[in-house]
Structure 1
Amino acid sequence: MGNENISILCYTDDAVLIAENEDDLQRLLHICKLVVDDQTIQQEMTFKYLGIELCGFGDVESEVRQQVNKAMRTAGCLNDTIWNNKHLRTETKARIYKAAIRPIMTYTAETRPDTTKTKRLLETCEMKVLRKIAGKTLLDRERSDNIRKMCGVEEVNEWILRRKHEWNAHKDRMDHERIARDKSPTGKRSIVRPRKRWSDNLTTN
């Protein structure tokens, strides 16, 4: 990250070892003095940590799809008790969506790059929930903007972009020694169409 080579992340109850190949990983294992019955440790390209799946090849779409599925499962559990409850106001249901559903599908969204596909996934998930809140279906042919106004909910991608600007301003206030302040990626970008960078979302939107 920037000019710093991070190979070990230590937390309260566990540690994450980061290496580009198996040999480097084995060296880190010896440094950390980890022994697993003299057996070869299989190198994993993906693993779940704090509810999200981290991968070595930066598959953001897969990460967003998993979070969207989790949000839809949670929203489905609230169909009878919340969304279809005629004794709750639309404003109350919208506040429950903002507090319980939107954080699931937008977790870490302010620090990851967005693509057209990830934006579509998030928008589709949000509108499925908001239509239930407003008591509308696709057969009603009601515009998404009108449903958002009925619920008083900001469009999810615009909300994420605002969070990114807030995170960018927060980084600018950090000391220069902080690793998170360095925005410059390492390595070279491929000759073909490169993947989206986090900073691209701040300049193109």
Structure 2
Amino acid sequence: MQNLENCPGIKVGGYNVNNIRYADDTVLIAENKDDLQKLLNIVEEESRKKGLELNSKKTEVMVISRKQEPPKCDIFINDAKLKRQDKFKYLGTIITSDGRNNNEIAARIAHAKTSFQKMRAVLTNKHISIQTRKRVLQFYIEPILLYGCEAWTISKQMEAKLEATEMWFRRRML
């Protein structure tokens, strides 16, 4: 999508970013409604040239804003108004319209605890050395808990929940 290179987006590390693509998933990023509509129009036009059609039923809009009432943002594909979402999952990570990570961290904690329970026979087995069990925790459970953490903005409350989860694991291992 060469035509997107010169379109506005957001600045990340001094670079203009207006789209993120992985396999057949694409995220368009803009600072305002008009720029987003322009990006979408370009993607729709370029797709049509290649014989592809954007599905308005599978295309959604999310406005990320810390304001109590996010701004109105009606975006269209061929006169079809796109559905607006407050949260969605992208590449296994929950993205929310308030830009916070509370839902994602809660989901990570739940997933890690479920995985811990599945490995309980190993992680709580006193016949296996504590060092080995710690390594299983470190290499099997912690990556599940911390998946995507490099992009999190963590409040003190969420940090406390993560620390409590770590203690929950360790108490059960002893």
Give the shorter-chain TM-score range: 0.5 to 0.7
Q: What SS class does the counterpart of residue 32 from structure 1 fall into?
A: helix
Q: Which residue of 2 aligns with 1:107?
A: 147
**How many angstroms does 1:6 deviate by?**
2.2
Deviation at 1:73, TM superposition (A): 1.1
Q: Could you tell me how far 1:5 is from its partner in structure 2?
A: 4.0
CA-CA distance at 1:22 after TM superposition: 5.4
User: 1:184 maps to what in 2?
Assistant: none
| Structure 2 residue 128 is matched with structure 1 residue 85 | no
| TM-score calculated relative to the size of structure 1 | 0.56
Q: Is the 8 A contact 2:20 2:27 kept in 1?
A: yes
Q: Find the counterpart in structure 1 of residue 115 from structure 2.
A: 74
* 1: CA distance, partners of 2:135 / 2:148: 20
Counterpart check, 1:18 vs 2:58 = no
Figure out how many residues of one structure are paired with residues of the other and give that number: 133
Shift of 1:20: 5.0
Q: Which runs of 5+ in 2 are unaligned?
A: 1-10, 45-52, 57-77
1:54 to 70, 95, 99: 95
Q: Identify unmatched segments of 5+ residues in structure 1.
A: 135-205
The alpha-carbon distance between structure 1 residues 82 and 130, as it changes in their structure 2 partners (threshold 3 A), is same
**Hey, what does 1:132 align to over in structure 2?**
172
CA drift of 1:32 comes to 0.6
The answer (yes or no) to whether the contact 2:112–2:141 under 8 Å persists in 1 is yes
Tell me the distance in 2 between the aligned counterparts of 1:30 and 1:6: 17
1:9 aligned residue (11, 16, 20): 20
SS of residue in 2 equivalent to 1:114: coil
The answer to which structure has the higher helix fraction is 1
Residue identity matched to 1:35: L
2:82, 2:160 → 1: CA distance?
Answer: 38
**d(CA) in 2 for partners of 1:10 and 1:78?**
35
- Please give the root-mean-square deviation of Cα atoms over the aligned residues, in Å: 2.3
Which is bigger in relative contact order (C-alpha 8 A, separation at least 6)? 1
How far has the Cα of 1:23 moved from its partner? 5.1
- Counterpart in the other structure of 1:27: 38
Deviates more, 1:87-96 or 1:43-52: 43-52
TM-score by length of 2: 0.65
**1:36 pairs with one of 52, 55, 79:** 55
Change (3 A) 1:55 1:20: farther
Q: Where is the strand percentage greater, Structure 1 or Structure 2?
A: 2
